[in-house]
A and B are shown apart, each in its own frame.
Chain A
Amino acid sequence: MVKLNIDIREKEVLRYLRFDPARTKLDDKIGQLVRETILLGKRRVRPRFAYQVLNILENNGRKVRVKGFIIESKNVAKILRHATAVVLFVTSIGLDLEKEIDRLFRLGEPSKAVILDAVGSEAEEALTDSLQQQLMSEYSDFKATPRFSPGYGDWDLKANKGILKLLDAKKIGVKVSPALMLLPQKTVTGVWGLSRGK
């Protein structure tokens, strides 16, 4: 079973909040507020994920075909050119954290709300990193390619529909809106490749 370790890095949270290491001065009060909010965020993160490891059946430089799914993107095809298999995945930190953000705005604590939003983004990123790390430790003969997600480059957002269906993401409470928006908001779908090598 995959057991995930979500490491929320303060530095990354600050980066999401447009902290400029060269210029921004972090006073104690804000530093404290950020650390408190990271703790709060940790308690609201409800990690969930689904994935499938699939052999690449065809990669013609324009699309990549795996069992049950076709990735229609030149960008992805290029990244996967040396890969023999892919991991299609969805990860999400759940709804509780975004509910807390709404709540904080409503209760008149927007600064905390904004920090919590950044904590959520970082938690989601860390969750995906952790999933990748865990899985790759089981495929020690393989190297991971960079990750790629629908909505970037030429990979159409519509791909989300297919990925979620393939992974039966309903089960973990993830869905996509008619406008192709992932719900919960802090959700990531995507792919990375497995290539033989060092």
Chain B
Amino acid sequence: MNFKNLLKGHKTIIFDGAMGTMLQKETLPQGVCPESYNLSHPGIITKIHEAYIAAGAQVITTNTFGANRLKLATYHLENEQAKLIQAAVKAARQAIKNQKVLIAGDIGPLGELVEPLGKIAFELAVDVFTEQAKYLKKAGCDCLILETFTDLQEMRAALVAAKGVGLPVIATMTFEQGLRTVTGSDPRTVAVVMQSLGADIIGANCSSGPQELLAVAREMAAVAQVPVLIQPNAGLPKLENGRTVFPLSAEAFAGCTDEFLRIGVSCLGGCCGTTPEHIKQLADGSRRMAVKNKTKNKVSKTYLSSRTKVVEIGEYPVIIGERINPTARKLLAEAIRNKNYTLILDEARAQIAAGCDLLDVNVSVPGTEEKETIKKLVLDLSTITEKPLVLDSPDAQVLAAGLRNFPGKALVNSVTGEKEKLKALLPLVKQYGAAVVGLCIDESGIPKTWQKRVEIAGKIVKAADQAGIPRTDIFIDCLTLAVSAEPEGVAGTLRAISEVKKKLGVRTVLGVSNISHGLPNRVLVNASFLSMAIAAGLDAIIMNPLDEKMQETVSAAAYLAGRDPNGKRYLAKFSAQSLSTTPAAGSQDVPASLKQRIISGDKDGIQVLTEQLLAKEKPLDIINGQIIPALEEVGARYEAKTYFLPQLILSAECAQVAMKLLRQEIAKDKTVPAVKPATLVFATVAGDVHDIGKNILIAVLQNYGYHIVDLGKDVPLKKIVAAAKKYRAEIVALSALMTTTVIEMPKVIQALRKEKLGTRVIVGGAVVTPEYAGQIGADGYGKDAIETVRVIKNLVSR
């Protein structure tokens, strides 16, 4: 009996039930490490395994759930790891004797979250899991089971580790009510990511009862390409007399068995609160029905994902936003050099708002530490967007840093047909469960003929096959050159696209803006070429999603090419647009719409709208005619309490998007004399760590054109004075929340006065009153953000 044989045939595979519940029945005392029983009471462990085998379990799970270095250390047992694991597997082996039962080495989560949600670096997590997996393999486990994981990124680390030791791997996560894991992943995302990382069986465990897990199972089975395992609890736990009780009887527990099998689940077992009796009912029930096919789904779609959502690529073409790329974009390159990522995050948001499906991330700036940059950006981007990332670099090390830290299934852009490159990159793609772009280029450059390009594509696909990357996860880029330089190349590219799809059954991807290089009316040429490529079968388009013409071309071309059945998407997009976002003829509505959008806090599309306005109006006119009236209206509504705090701030965020663009324009215009803005220094005083009020004020103030220096919280007096001096601050704004910290304010004011800087001081915070502000000699006091803006305006204009 081995793992491969287990998966054959048409029978449900039965797993065992809870170990912890059984141990508690055997009176495991509170506070004792459950794994320590492997050494102190191996007989009890063997007895539990025997009971599950007798009940019909074909796979039993070792008592090693928490046997990782970090968890054992909390019991001061980290040096006993090898012994505890060895004893666990031995106890399981003794229960099996000569029966056809497999041992799954159990690996549970670390008990601490992986970056960015927690402190554990991905690499450390892989290390700790690898150690546990190696001991389990050495002790003789037939396979490994990773279970009860709550965070997808931690599961990724465990899978990378487990696959690394070379045993078959089973992976299950737990879901909360609302069908999400604790850190927000839905069942499809979990399934896609786990199977891409090489899990041989995927599924869900713990969570809740069988009834609640049906919905999770349905979602997972819809995208699963490997068998699905479900191990529910014996119902939702209840509290009775201070004890946790699982309410479902064995019969009730097995009540959903038929339904699970119908959905396509082929492996069943139990988790918390289940006993051998529960497993027996499950085993008996499952005999009534044959499992159709354990790996039923023939792959046809491509799935990419972020931590929380899957993007399906089937017939309809997807858009890859190309704007996060510092090549020929000075501001971006500068931002990367200065490690100032807000500009890049804004680029991401704008592209998403414009409707891209995937985000390309290229951080290649000469002389910078690209590995560091990509790690940092991937962590930040993965918290602000739900879009899968396309990691864009030819460098294996940079790609590895990105792949490790992206908590989903990314697309690697790209590998060429050069032998060395294939050897270096494809194993990486496989290891981290990504998809890959292959460029039709090899040691001798870009081939002229389409035949040669298809040949290189074939070489790449063959190498990817060998690396174990499925065809649906390969995107071939047939490349295109400027039509002005190589007129006959265009037909070749189009031919190559359709041939590659037909012959190799892979996806295709292409950047479409190069084609018009050196020509007038580039937009027209790009859009026309894009339609042709979509007709030829192009799956993914690398383009600027903010370009509306190109967006519209995608919609129309997909419809015309028969890739948008009944024009459903086309109609949905344009019927909606004619009502809301298409600028009306005569453009009278456009200005009103920017003001309106700021007032209603509608962030999507503000960037595009501002760009359109800039083509017709001067930036200052837009500010005075649209943005300021909008902010005044919002402030008035806030004071009348028809708006509350989040609406005030959301409107400020919207205005900020437009203001950024407008300021750039103003800076370009040399006819307007540059006015040095007033500098405001902000600090929460020493000893105080509450900075929410100060941060709210800054968010609202962003739009008023001041130079804002935020010193943060718990700021020592000396640092505030030094900053006031350095920046020649017109105003220093101090915040304090508590009676015990507000006393720092007069000290700062005195110190500033002593320096005779002419700086004015305003104060605010929960315990500060206008009277107190007067007593300590402050120049102003603000009750809330709106009032403080007014106070600041008055002080600065004086």
- Residue of B183, B239, B602, B740 near A179 (CB, 8 A) is B740
Q: Which residues of A contact B650 (CB under 8 A)?
A: 30, 33, 111
Q: Are B641 and A157 in contact (CB under 8 A)?
A: no
Q: Are B689 and A181 in contact (CB under 8 A)?
A: yes
Q: Which residues of A contact B641 (CB under 8 A)?
A: 18, 20, 23-24
Q: Are A110 and B649 in contact (CB under 8 A)?
A: yes
A150: min CB distance to chain B, Å: 11
Q: Are A30 and B647 in contact (CB under 8 A)?
A: yes
Report how many residues on chain B are interfacial, defined by Cβ distance under 8 Å. Answer: 44
Q: Are B649 and A20 in contact (CB under 8 A)?
A: no
Q: Are A108 and B645 in contact (CB under 8 A)?
A: no
B736: min CB distance to chain A, Å: 9
B269 at interface, CB cutoff 8 A = no
Q: Which residues of A contact B646 (CB under 8 A)?
A: 17, 30, 33-34, 111, 114-115
Q: Are A117 and B345 in contact (CB under 8 A)?
A: no
Q: Are B689 and A107 in contact (CB under 8 A)?
A: no
Q: Are A24 and B653 in contact (CB under 8 A)?
A: no
Q: Which residues of A contact B640 (CB under 8 A)?
A: 23
A43 at interface, CB cutoff 8 A = yes
B563 at interface, CB cutoff 8 A = no
- Residue of A25, A110, A157 near B739 (CB, 8 A) is A157
Q: Which residues of B contact A19 (CB under 8 A)?
A: 644
Q: Are A17 and B738 in contact (CB under 8 A)?
A: no
A12: min CB distance to chain B, Å: 14
A194: min CB distance to chain B, Å: 17
Q: Which residues of A contact B692 (CB under 8 A)?
A: 101, 113-114, 117
Q: Which residues of B contact A39 (CB under 8 A)?
A: 178, 180, 184
Knowing A18-B644, A30-B647, A114-B649, say if A43 contacts B738 (CB, 8 Å): no
Q: How large is the interface on A (under 10, 10 to 19, 20 to 34, 35 or more residues)?
A: 35 or more
Q: How far is the CA of A95 from the CA of B688 in the complex (A)?
A: 16
A151: min CB distance to chain B, Å: 8
- Residue of B183, B601, B689 near A183 (CB, 8 A) is B689
Q: Are B383 and A43 in contact (CB under 8 A)?
A: no
A170 at interface, CB cutoff 8 A = no
- Residue of A96, A101, A179 near B741 (CB, 8 A) is A179
Knowing A20-B641, A181-B740, say if A110 contacts B653 (CB, 8 Å): yes
Q: Which residues of A contact B643 (CB under 8 A)?
A: 24-25
Q: Are B687 and A43 in contact (CB under 8 A)?
A: no
A178 at interface, CB cutoff 8 A = yes
Q: How far is the CA of A165 from the CA of B714 in the complex (A)?
A: 24
Query: Which chain B residue has the least Cβ–Cβ distance from A157?
Result: B740
Interface string of B664-697 (1 = CB under 8 A from A): 0000000000000000000000011110100110
B342 at interface, CB cutoff 8 A = yes
B212 at interface, CB cutoff 8 A = no
B380 at interface, CB cutoff 8 A = yes
Among A99-144, those with CB < 8 Å from B are 101, 103, 105, 107-111, 113-115, 117, 138
Q: Which residues of A contact B183 (CB under 8 A)?
A: 43
B366 at interface, CB cutoff 8 A = no
Q: Which residues of A contact B647 (CB under 8 A)?
A: 30
Q: How far is the CA of A33 from the CA of B647 in the complex (A)?
A: 10
B244 at interface, CB cutoff 8 A = yes
Q: How far is the CA of A185 from the CA of B714 in the complex (A)?
A: 13
Q: How far is the CA of A52 from the CA of B380 in the complex (A)?
A: 42
Q: How far is the CA of A33 from the CA of B18 in the complex (A)?
A: 39
A171: min CB distance to chain B, Å: 12
- Residue of A23, A105, A107, A181 near B383 (CB, 8 A) is A107
A162: min CB distance to chain B, Å: 16
Q: How far is the CA of A40 from the CA of B695 in the complex (A)?
A: 20
B520 at interface, CB cutoff 8 A = no
B413: min CB distance to chain A, Å: 24
Q: Are B689 and A185 in contact (CB under 8 A)?
A: yes
Q: Which residues of B contact A14 (CB under 8 A)?
A: 644
Q: Are A177 and B689 in contact (CB under 8 A)?
A: yes
B182 at interface, CB cutoff 8 A = yes
Q: Which residues of B contact A3 (CB under 8 A)?
A: 239, 244
Q: How far is the CA of A126 from the CA of B789 in the complex (A)?
A: 34
Q: Which residues of B contact A111 (CB under 8 A)?
A: 601, 646, 649-650, 653, 699
Knowing A23-B642, A107-B383, say if A180 contacts B602 (CB, 8 Å): no
Complex A-B: 28 CB contacts under 8 Å: A14-B644, A17-B644, A17-B646, A18-B644, A23-B641, A24-B643, A25-B642, A27-B600, A29-B600, A29-B601, A29-B602, A40-B184, A107-B342, A107-B383, A108-B345, A108-B656, A110-B652, A111-B646, A114-B696, A151-B739, A178-B687, A179-B687, A179-B688, A179-B738, A179-B741, A181-B690, A181-B740, A181-B741
Interface residues of A (CB under 8 A from B): 1-3, 14, 17-20, 23-25, 27, 29-30, 33-34, 39-40, 43, 96, 101, 103, 105, 107-111, 113-115, 117, 138, 151, 157, 177-181, 183, 185
Interface residues of B (CB under 8 A from A): 117, 178, 180, 182-184, 239, 242-244, 342, 345-346, 380, 383-384, 600-602, 640-647, 649-650, 652-653, 656, 687-690, 692, 695-696, 699, 738-741
In the complex, the 5 A-B pairs of residues with the closest C-beta atoms, listed nearest first: A179-B687, A110-B699, A111-B650, A111-B649, A23-B641
